[in-house]
Every structure is written in structure tokens, then in C-alpha cells.
Structure 1
Amino acid sequence: MRTAKIKINKALFEETSHSPALVDIVGEKMLDQVIDYCFIANPYYPTDEMMEQLQSKLVSIIKAYPSSNPRLAREMLADVLGINSQYLILGNGATELITIIERYLIDQIAIPIPTFSEYIEKLKSSDAAKLFHLNPEKDYQLNLEEYASWIDQNQIESALIINPGNPTGQLMRVDEMKRFLKKMTHLKMILLDESFIDFANEQVPTLLGELADYNNLIVVRSMSKHCGVPGLRLGYCATSNKMFQTEIKEALPVWNINSIAEYFLLQLQRTNQEYHNSRIRVIDDVKDLYRKLVEIPGFKVYPTGSNFILVKIEFGMKAVDLQMQLLENYGLYVRDCSNKIGLDQYHIRVSSQGKENDRFLIDALQSMAKTHSA
């Protein structure tokens, strides 16, 4: 434990449904004193060589306008994803695309909760969200057959699925997903968020290859997560539906992808093997973190198919109190999930930051559980 507490700007937690930036919470001088387990991103990519090359070209990149139609960058990304580039639309982060899809293409949508808050907050109106409450007695697991029946019973025209789930980490198999898609071809839209799918398995269980078979499917992904570049604000969506493509493209502002982000996209093809090596390393780290978390008494650890893990505190402490104590006393920042609709006040979410850093979290949670369970 630290000899002096870290001073926290607690007011920032009241201003957003997301995790406040660490630099705002503790200040720039204390950044190197805190490990951020809220940070759901690949810590091993981009490679050092990629970053050095970017730095060497930074002046010329910043002084250049990005493409108003970044065709080459889109084709490069489509190539590494193995999909038709005509299906692909680049966004200034996945949230830009989520906002456009929900504002322009959706009047009502089924949303399993708990979920990523943007899917509720960016709808045209509050009554557009038709909430499907996941059962805590069943570990908040989404049963796709029950979900499909509920959607039809309530005559809802669109449906959201996040796979792996956020914040649950639940991974649904490809065969389950295909059965759902075939059963729900009558829906106007199925919005599938696969932002964490690259951490599900060594062979990525994506449905990007199925787009041509499902005209009502839009797949959304955040590159912040699997490529480890949240500061570049890169995301993409893909669909074979030409009407969806047209509506989304028309709503996008020109130059929505900045020149640094565009340069990064152009490096993906030549570094594709390094990327896959990095994500497999993350998968190994998460498995190791999960094994150690389940050994700590006082916590319920949910299975995960992602690079983060949902944990329930079972010794009476609220998540916000555990979060603050970890920050102030140990310099560890975890996600308090209390503000996620559908979860109680006793859940935190942690993302692996590499085996060396993860041991600090394990030691701190063991200490806290022992102290408060005594």
C-alpha cells in the first residue's frame, strides 16, 4: 500500500456515463503512478517500429489534408479484414457511426441490458429503446432464442447484439449467431457490435464474412479496442445493404478521418502478422488474469470471451468505494459499473494490462477482500 493517498478529482465521475480520463482524475504528474484497468485496448499494438515511423513523418502528416474520400485506406482495411471494400464505411470512432445509425436508420430497437451506454443515449428519443433485461441469476447471459421471441412478441423492428458482450464479456458462438440472423431476416436491421471479437479466440469468430447473406445486418467495430489506438478515433461499420450504406455515407461529415488516422490505416497490411501476434498475446494475458481472479474469495468472476472481465463484489463493499480505494491507496483504476442500466452497485470491470501489471491488481484485490471479509 502507498504511504500517501493519491488525490482524486471525484467530481468528474458525476459528469459522464463513461470512465473519466485518467489524466483528468489524477493530473498529469501522477499519470505514471497509476495503472489504468479501465483501458480496454490492445497494449501490444501498434508496434514500437510503427510508432517510430509515425513520429518520423508526423510533421508532414499533420501539414497535409486527409482524403475527403479515403478510398485507399478503406481498401487496405478491407483487405486485412477479408471483406468487400464496398461494404466498409470508416468512422471517427465507432461512436460516430453508432450515432448516425441510431439517428437516421432506427426508430425503435431492442437492446439487451446491461450494455454500452451509447446505444441507449444516442437514440432519437428515450422510448426508442426497448430494453431486454438480462437475468442476474443467469449471470446476465443473453439467450438468443429467448431474445428473438421477445422481439417478435413486442413487434420491435430492429435489434442490437454486442458480441462479446459489454460489460458482461459473454461470447456467443458463430452457429448461435447465424441461427438468430436466419430467424430474424424480417427485421429492418440487426446491429452487431464486434468491437471485442478479435480477443475471443485465436481464430476470430466474426460474422464479417456473412454480410452478403444478410441484407439487414450492420457490423460495427471500434479500432480503439483491438488495435490499441483510442486517440486516433477510428472505427468502422460494414453492411451489404446499399440503402444503409447510402444513408450512413450521406450523414458523415467530409474529412471525418484525420490524416494521422489515415496514415495508420495504410500501415495495417504490412503489419498484419504483428497485429495478430499482439492480440493472441492479449488473449493469453486475459486467461491468466481470469485464473487468478477466480482464486480470490469474496469476488464472483464472470466468464469472458473478451479482453476484459466483469467481477461482482460479494463482501458488501460497493463498486464505487472499491474503485476509490484502489485508486487512492494502490494507484489502480478499475471501472465502476454501477451506472450501467441493468447492473447493481457491486460490479467492476477490469481489462488486462499485461501479466506484470495485472499482478498489482490481483495483490490489491486479495488484500481488500481479506480486510473486509474478516
Structure 2
Amino acid sequence: MQAIILAAGMGKRLGEYTKNNTKCMVPVNGVPLIDRVLLQLSILSLNRVVIVVGYEGQKLMNYLGSEQHGLKIEYIDNPIYDKTNNIYSLALAKEKLLDDDTLLIESDLIFDDGMFKLLLDNPYPNLALVAKYESWMDGTMVRIDQDNNIVNFVPKAAFDFRETNSYYKTVNIYKFSKTFSRTKYVPFLEAYTKAVGNNEYYENVLRIISFLNSHDLKALPITDEKWYEIDDKQDLDIAEALFADEKDVLRKYYGRYGGFWRFPKMLDYCYLVNPYFNESRIIDEMEAFFRTLISEYPSGMKVNSLIASKCWGVKEDYIIPGNGAAELIKVLMETLPGTLGVTRPTFEEYPNRRDKEKLVTYIPQNSDYRYTAKDLMDFFEKNHADNILLINPDNPSGNFIPICDVLVLAAWCQKQDIRLIVDESFVDFSVGFENNSLLSNTLLEAYPTMVVMKSISKSYGVPGIRLGILCSADVTLIAKMKKMVSIWNINSFAEYFMQIFTKYEKDYKRACEKFIAEREDFEKKLKEISFLRVMPSQANYFLCEILPPKNANQLVLTMLKKYNILVRDCSDKQGFDGKQYMRIAVRSHEDNERFIHAFRDLDKN
């Protein structure tokens, strides 16, 4: 058997990475793609590796030479690589195809070491590796029947988003027998290029063969094997996360701060959102209006304040909608003078926006990081702060202070001339949530310097629309903040969500009730895991101490690499006592069952 690698293309979409380099010499985590694939091929019994070169071909030949890792390497030059496509590169190698059984590989791929073994261990002589369609995939798709016969190749021009459930993407790794190449592929390749030309794709020849009701070529669907096709900078960035070394992998994932739809098989147990409200028909209505929303400007602050006022029942002058709570946190922290009192461990977005010398930090002195309104008053009476932050329920501890006690704290702050900031982004996950919110004109007016923040992304499970609100009866503060954000700080999708939300309030209530029941079930199962100490929570996550001999960092790595589940190691958060901690989100029942299955598996080892 031999391998043929197509490496003639220019890789223009990779920009400066291929300015003086062929695409296969681009490094992923420090290792050029060509080095990686040749090392993977070196463990196979191959007679030779044939590389079709073109753009910067001489540089690649000088780099590799005639032998690498015990592999004999031959080259074929495509001198008109800038005027042709990969069908011409393969046509140049057609005589080689006739010589031996072949592994055909495109050079812009990165994949797990076991991919070639899948092909070689399979008894069928002619195979195409395929993967079930996912949103990141582009290029040639196929349909397969129940016997894994490829019944159709779907070119880009024929792609239909309504049919994606039936699509598989070609991984661009094939196994061709010498007989197939001689009797089918090469004859059709010659006829196709003569009739259509050389600026085409070699898959088009396979498409024609599939039209003949021929079952010569079968599909071999992969399952959990990792692979990625690197066409542009974004692809390179994702590939570096997927194939990162153990020491770098968490940094590369955590540093993305979202966008995990690009990793569709991965379960995200870091980011905290309502898992049930997106089942509401509110999403269907937004989807039906999508084309209008994306083509129209949103309203300005005046209108959006009115709509937000309608949704959350507070006066227009008391409310400011933001591009997520993050925008409002930034503006608030830049606006308020004086020191900020925080309870740690906590959500660091607030203290990160202040100078360290302006922070007054309270750390609960107990193993569960529980605290009460009285604890806060006792501490800050002795350690004055001009502003006190209360995240309720707190993140990551899940600590919750009942609303009656929050109001006692608010009254005390008012008396002490301290501004109280209450972030109730997770309050709708608490038991009795309907009566736990501070968002009412009566309460805001009773404590006019109190500020209430709410992340709609978290509570309502719509982080993609970027929406948050801040409320206060301090109209001077609200007016000042409205001038500090851009006139179009809310996009049309967020505006429309607020416009129609009141029709779906009952759905939201049911979603919150369903969530609370699921959290109780999830908590019981987590407590059965021997290496976890689960702390009580009224939020949509649990803070868990990882007990010896388990290690939080290694546990998170294992969950990602073995089970494709991303969890937050928060051991290094300020305020912890040096022990090992993990924050575990609560997702849907199906997702939580997958998570529990993984932890039970790890509990056996």
C-alpha cells in the first residue's frame, strides 16, 4: 500500500500563515501538519508516500527530503497549481494510483492517530471516511444508505440546510484499491477532466461513479474520533484547542469565553444558563422573524428602556438594558466612586473592574462558604466600604440570602450611606423564585441607592442575544449610565425578545419549576460520587470540593479528553482555602445523565 498526499494548494484564506509556506507546513501547536501526518503514516507498512506539490513546493521538498520516519517519499509537481484545483493534482498522480492500493489524503487535515487504522482494519477495499454533518463543516457532503453505501455526493451548489440530518461530510481520507483505481476511478477521472476541465474537485468523479448505482465505494462513519480541516485562521484556532497538549488544553478552552457551538459534540458545564426556557415557542417566533431582525436596525435606548420596563415591571427611568450584564457591570464599576466590598470567592467580573486597593474583601470562615446578611453587616461595619456587592445566589458558592434578609441589609446600607449592589442573575433558579426578586418599583423606591443587576442571558437561557438589565430608583445614576453606552447597545434580536416575552411568561415559570426539580435530582446523584463534597445551592450550579486522591485539574482534563465534557476548575479563585474545587453547572436531564455516567465511571477507578 502507498499514500498519496495532495499538497499543491495556496491556502490563501490562512493569510500570513501561508504567505511563504505551503498549507501543510503550517504548525498546529508547534507541529507542522505534514510532520504530524507522516509520523502517523510511519507506523503503517507503506511502500512509499507520494506528495503532489505546487505552491512553495520546492520549500516543502527541501524540508522533507526523500525519506522521513523510515518512509520513502516521492514528489509530483503541479506547475499550474494557481489555475487548477485538486482534480488536476490527482490526475497528475494517476499512474501512481494504478501501481498500488492507496490511502488518499488531503494535506490540510489534522486528526486522531487511529484514523488510518479504521480504514486498514475494515475489510472493504474502497472506503471514504465520513462524519455526521455538524454546523462547522463545509465542502463535499454525501448521503449513505443503511449498508453504508455512498448513494450520492452533494456538492456545495446543491447543499440544502433543510436536509442536513441526512448529510455526512467527507473527511477527505480515502482508501482505494488498485483494481478500483484501474477499472473505475482513473478512467472516469480522465474522461471528466477532458470533458469539464481541470479547475474542479476530484470528488466530482466519485459523484459520477455513485450515479451508476455502483457500490464499489462505501462510507466508513467515524464516531468519537477527532479531526478538523484547516482552511482559515479560525479553523487553525479551533484545531489548536482540539489537539492541544495537556498543559495547554484548559487555557485554550477557557480562554475562548464561549463560542462552543464550534465544538458541537462537547457538553459545556462551565457557562451557566437556563436549560429549559429555550424549549418555549418564543424561540420559534424569533426564528420566524429572523430575516427581518437581521436586516433592520434596532431601536435606541429610549424605546428599549420602555420595552424593558414593560417586561420587568419597573419604571422606564429606573431601568437600563445592556449588551449583556457584562456591559452594565463595566459601566457601573467605572461610574461608582469609592471602595467596593466583595465576598470571595465570587464572580470576578466586578472586582476585576476596580483597582485592587479599592477592594474590601470578606471571606466566610467556614468550609461551605456560607454567609448571611448579618455576617456582611458585622464585617463591613468594622471594615467600611462605600459600595457593597451581593451576588445572590452567589457564584460559585451557590450561597443564598432570603429576600427578607436582603432588605434588612439594604436598610442597613441606606442608614450607613453605603450603596448596595445586588446581582440577582441566578435568583430565578431559587426555590420560591417568584417572590425572591427585588425588581419592583416599591422596593427600588424604598431603597433608592440600591442597584439591582440581572443577566437575562443566564436566567432565560439566551446568552446569544446578549441582554442584561440594571435597575435603580437613583435616576441620576441610571441617566448617566444611559449616556455612557452606545445608542444601539441592544441588537434587534434582544429587542424583539423583550418585545414578545410577556406572551411567554407562563412558559418561563414552567421552565424555572422544571429546572428546580432537575437540580434536586442532579444534586442527589452528585452526592453519590465518593470524591465529591457537594455544597448546597439555590443557583444553576454546584460548588463541589474534590476529595483526595482526586485532583480537580486532572479531573477536568479527563472529563474533556475522555468524555468531551468541559467543567470549571475554580481551585485558584481568590478566597478559597487551597483545597480542590470544581463548579458544576446544571443542564438538562439528558445532559446531566451523561455527566453522572462519566463521574460514576471515574469513581470506579
TM-fit CA distance, 1:70: 4.5
**1:201 equivalent in structure 2:** 431
**2:294 equivalent in structure 1:** 62
**1:10-159 equivalence runs, <5 A:** 11=248, 13-14=250-251, 20-21=257-258, 23=260, 28=262, 31-47=263-279, 49-71=281-303, 73-123=304-354, 125-135=355-365, 137-159=366-388
TM-score w.r.t. length of structure 1: 0.90
Conservation of the 8 A alpha-carbon contact between 2:427 and 2:433? no
Counterpart Cα distance in 2 of 1:90 and 1:191: 16
**2:494 equivalent in structure 1:** 261
Instruction: Please list the CA deviations of residues 106-139 of structure 1 after superposition, one character each: whole Å capped at 9, or x if unmatched.
Output: 321100000101011112x22111111222x341
**1:284-295 equivalence runs, <5 A:** 284-295=517-528
Task: Give the secondary structure class of the aligned counterpart of 1:268.
Answer: helix
Task: Give the secondary structure class of the aligned counterpart of 2:342.
Answer: strand
Given the superposition, is the C-alpha separation of residues 20 and 66 from structure 1 closer, same or farther in structure 2, using an over 3 Å criterion? Answer: closer
Instruction: Please list the CA deviations of residues 75-111 of structure 1 after superposition, one character each: whole Å capped at 9, or x if unmatched.
Output: 3433343322321110111111111111111321100
Conservation of the 8 A alpha-carbon contact between 1:195 and 1:225? yes
- Which of 282, 292, 309 pairs up with 2:515? 282
**1:165 equivalent in structure 2:** 394
**2:581 equivalent in structure 1:** 347
**2:541 equivalent in structure 1:** 308
Conservation of the 8 A alpha-carbon contact between 1:164 and 1:194? yes
**1:329 equivalent in structure 2:** 562
Counterpart Cα distance in 2 of 1:251 and 1:238: 16
Conservation of the 8 A alpha-carbon contact between 1:66 and 1:257? yes
Counterpart Cα distance in 1 of 2:482 and 2:498: 19
**2:598 equivalent in structure 1:** 364
Counterpart Cα distance in 1 of 2:252 and 2:372: 33
Conservation of the 8 A alpha-carbon contact between 2:545 and 2:579? no
Task: Give the secondary structure class of the aligned counterpart of 1:90.
Answer: strand
Counterpart Cα distance in 2 of 1:147 and 1:19: 34
Consecutive unaligned residues in structure 2, runs of 5 or more: 1-222, 228-241
Point out 4+ residue stretches in structure 1 off by more than 6 angstroms: 15-19
Task: Give the secondary structure class of the aligned counterpart of 1:334.
Answer: strand
TM-fit CA distance, 1:19: 7.0
Letter of the structure 1 residue corresponding to residue 602 of structure 2: M
Task: Give the secondary structure class of the aligned counterpart of 2:503.
Answer: coil
**2:571 equivalent in structure 1:** 338
TM-fit CA distance, 1:154: 2.1
Given the superposition, is the C-alpha separation of residues 313 and 19 from structure 1 closer, same or farther in structure 2, using an over 3 Å criterion? Answer: farther
TM-fit CA distance, 1:48: 5.2
321-330 or 337-346: bigger deviation: 337-346
Conservation of the 8 A alpha-carbon contact between 1:80 and 1:272? no
Given the superposition, is the C-alpha separation of residues 3 and 259 from structure 1 closer, same or farther in structure 2, using an over 3 Å criterion? Answer: closer
Letter of the structure 2 residue corresponding to residue 364 of structure 1: A
TM-fit CA distance, 1:280: 1.2
Counterpart Cα distance in 2 of 1:4 and 1:17: 22
Conservation of the 8 A alpha-carbon contact between 2:541 and 2:585? yes
Structure with greater strand share of residues:
2
**How many equivalent pairs are there?**
362
Instruction: Please list the CA deviations of residues 315-363 of structure 1 after superposition, one character each: whole Å capped at 9, or x if unmatched.
Output: 2332221111001111211111123211245111111221122112112
Counterpart Cα distance in 2 of 1:94 and 1:309: 22
Conservation of the 8 A alpha-carbon contact between 1:93 and 1:233? yes
TM-fit CA distance, 1:18: 6.8
User: Which is higher, the Rg of structure 1 or of structure 2?
Assistant: 2
Consecutive unaligned residues in structure 1, runs of 5 or more: none
TM-fit CA distance, 1:55: 2.4
Counterpart Cα distance in 2 of 1:64 and 1:286: 39
Counterpart Cα distance in 2 of 1:212 and 1:51: 34
Conservation of the 8 A alpha-carbon contact between 1:163 and 1:194? yes
Conservation of the 8 A alpha-carbon contact between 1:5 and 1:328? no
Task: Give the secondary structure class of the aligned counterpart of 1:338.
Answer: coil
**1:224 equivalent in structure 2:** 457
Counterpart Cα distance in 2 of 1:120 and 1:275: 31
Instruction: Please list the CA deviations of residues 178-206 of structure 1 after superposition, one character each: whole Å capped at 9, or x if unmatched.
Output: 11111121234111000000010244311
Instruction: Please list the CA deviations of residues 254-292 of structure 1 after superposition, one character each: whole Å capped at 9, or x if unmatched.
Output: 110011111111111111111111111111111110111
TM-fit CA distance, 1:63: 1.6
Letter of the structure 1 residue corresponding to residue 328 of structure 2: L
Instruction: Please list the CA deviations of residues 10-40 of structure 1 after superposition, one character each: whole Å capped at 9, or x if unmatched.
Output: 64644797774363xxx83xx3322212231
Conservation of the 8 A alpha-carbon contact between 1:19 and 1:38? no
Conservation of the 8 A alpha-carbon contact between 1:112 and 1:142? no
Letter of the structure 1 residue corresponding to residue 518 of structure 2: D
TM-fit CA distance, 1:74: 3.3
Conservation of the 8 A alpha-carbon contact between 2:282 and 2:501? no
TM-fit CA distance, 1:5: 7.8
Counterpart Cα distance in 1 of 2:253 and 2:317: 36
292-301 or 46-55: bigger deviation: 46-55
Task: Give the secondary structure class of the aligned counterpart of 1:32.
Answer: coil
**2:237 equivalent in structure 1:** none
Counterpart Cα distance in 2 of 1:297 and 1:354: 23
Given the superposition, is the C-alpha separation of residues 318 and 38 from structure 1 closer, same or farther in structure 2, using an over 3 Å criterion? Answer: same
**1:241-252 equivalence runs, <5 A:** 241-252=474-485
**1:233 equivalent in structure 2:** 466
Counterpart Cα distance in 1 of 2:268 and 2:582: 13
Letter of the structure 2 residue corresponding to residue 246 of structure 1: A
Q: Which has the higher contact order (CA 8 A, sep 6+)?
A: 1
